[in-house]
Structure 1
Amino acid sequence: MIFKFFDKLSQDFSELLNDKKEYNVIIEIDKEENKKSFTAHSVVLRYRSSHFDKELEIATTNENNIKTIIKPNISAQIFEIILKFIYGGIVDIENTDTKTIYELMINSNELELEELSAKLESYLIESKASWLRTHFFFVYHSIFDSNVFTNLKKFYNDIIVKHPNLFFESENFTSLQETALISILQRDDLKVEEIKIWDYVIKWGIAQNPTLPTNLEEWSNENFKVLKITLQQCLPLIRYFHISIEDIWEKVKLYEKILEKQLWDDMIQRHMFPNKSVKSLVLPARIISNPELPPRTISTSELPSKVNEPFSTIINKEHVVELSSWIDRKSTTYSLENIPYEFELILRGSRDDFNPKTFWNMCHGHSGTIVVAKVAGTDEIIGGYNPLAWDNLTSGFMETNDSFIFSLKNGDMRNSILSRVINSKEALLYLSDHDIYGPDFGNCEFMMKSSVSDFTQDKLCWCDPSDACYEKPIRTTNKYFSIVDYEHLRNMRHRHAGTIIVIKVAGTEEIAGDYNPLA
Structure 2
Amino acid sequence: MIPLPSDKKFIQDISQIRKNNIDYDVVFIVGRKPSKRMIGHSFVLKVRSVYFHNKLHSMDENEEFDKYDRYQFKFPEYTFDIFDRILSFIYSNEINVLTMSSLSLLNLMKAAKRFKLTDMVEYLQSYLIEDRSSWIYENIFTEAFDNEESQQLQSLVIDLICKNTKWFLNLDHFNKFSEEQLIKFLQIDDLSIEEFHVWNAVLDWAFVKNADLNEKKVTLWSVQEIECFKKTLKPFIPFIRFFQISSSKYFDYVYEFSKVLPEELVNKLLEYYLKGNSPTNYLLLPLRKVRTIDSDFITSEQAEIISCWIENDTQEKLINLEWEFKFNLLYSTKRNGNSVEMFHEYCDNKGATVILVKTNLPGEIIGGYNPISWGNNESSSDFKSKNSFKDLLNDGDENSLTDVDEELIVGSSSSASSQKMALNGRNDSSKQADSFLFSFNMNNENNIGKISSFNVLNSVHNCHECGPCFGTTDLWITPDAAHLKYHTVFHQPLKNSGYHRQGSYEIKLRNKPGAFQFKDYEVFQVIHV
TM-score of the superposed pair, with normalisation by structure 1: 0.35
TM-score by length of 2: 0.35
Structure with larger RCO (C-alpha < 8 A, sep 6+): 2
